[in-house]
A and B are shown apart, each in its own frame.
Chain A
């Protein structure tokens, strides 16, 4: 069971768990902003570009 969970984690998250955590956090922020009734569509594109940029910066070091 543990090895299956590890395999699924490696398959989906890969070697960059920080980005995965960032995606989850961005979805949470989107949900909170949307719940207030304000426009929330912009949160994910901004977060995705920022997460990709940070991930690439880590990889390029």
Chain B
């Protein structure tokens, strides 16, 4: 496996694991509080929708000429990655609340209880919340799988890394039957932000016609450079006058 392929697999795995942990919390909350069968039906429906999106867009993207693909998809990945990295830096600087699965589980459970009585059969609330939760968290994963996979013509590898992450989180979640609050989600989100930003920068520049010194090996300098620069920004923000952290997302 080449360096960029390893980077692809790690980035997709981390991103997918984080999103799967968040989706698991939502599904657990409605499953425990209301209806497991309806919640799991929602999960299945969302999984099918996501698979259709990846199957439809994957081949269309990989059919684009590599220069256009790297420019457009690299640019989109960079815009998307900078969002992740900005939020991660704000979290570590104390300007945005850290994501807490126990808190998220409590909030989802309270909403599920407040949603009124459930019928004995199919529970529309559980289905809808589980469907929406998995679809929204999954769309970020689908975007990362498609952009990373298409750029290296390795959509299969990206999908496999995503599948392993989902299977692992599902297995641990089923065993624990509780939100996976001990997963270092905030650190993982930071790492994903660094990877998305670095790969987006690399591919975007290549797509625009630039040649990196050392070719793909430039990523080995770019990833630590982005990580170091963002860590410096965390230190800078921490020195600013104290402000109240805004909500986690």
Contacts and interface: CB of A to CB of B under 8 A. Distances in A.
Interface of A: 11-14, 16, 19-20, 23-24, 26-28, 30-31, 33-35, 39-41, 43-45, 48-49, 51-53, 55-56, 59-60
Contacts, number: 103
B97 to A, nearest CB: 14
Contacts of B226: 45, 48-49
B95 A52 contact: no
Closest 8 CB pairs of A and B: A34-B209, A30-B208, A40-B210, A44-B205, A31-B208, A41-B210, A14-B83, A20-B79
Contacts of A16: 82-83, 86
B71 interface: yes
B76 interface: yes
B208 A27 contact: yes
A11 to B, nearest CB: 7
B201 interface: yes
Main SS at interface, chain B: helix
B83 A59 contact: no
Contacts of B75: 23-24, 27
Interface residues on B, range: 35 or more
Given A19-B83, A24-B75, 14 more contacts: A11-B139, A12-B76, A27-B208, A30-B204, A34-B211, A41-B210, A43-B210, A44-B210, A52-B86, A52-B89, A52-B197, A55-B86, A60-B93, A60-B240
Contacts of A41: 205, 210-213, 218
Contacts of A55: 82, 86
B44 interface: no
B244 to A, nearest CB: 12
Give the most central of B71, B82, B226: most A CB within 10 Å.
B82
A56 B79 contact: no
A44 B225 CA distance: 13
B205 A43 contact: yes
A40 B83 contact: no
Contact of B89 (A23, A27, A56): A56
Contact of A40 (B76, B143, B208, B237): B208
Interface in B151-166: none
Nearest to B226: A48
Given A52-B89, A56-B90, A56-B233, A40 B79 contact: no
A40 B240 CA distance: 34
A48 B82 contact: yes
A28 to B, nearest CB: 8
Contact of A56 (B78, B204, B237): B237
26 contacts: A11-B139, A23-B78, A27-B205, A27-B208, A30-B204, A30-B210, A31-B208, A31-B209, A33-B210, A34-B210, A39-B210, A40-B209, A40-B210, A41-B205, A41-B213, A43-B205, A43-B210, A44-B210, A45-B222, A48-B201, A52-B229, A52-B233, A59-B90, A59-B95, A60-B93, A60-B95
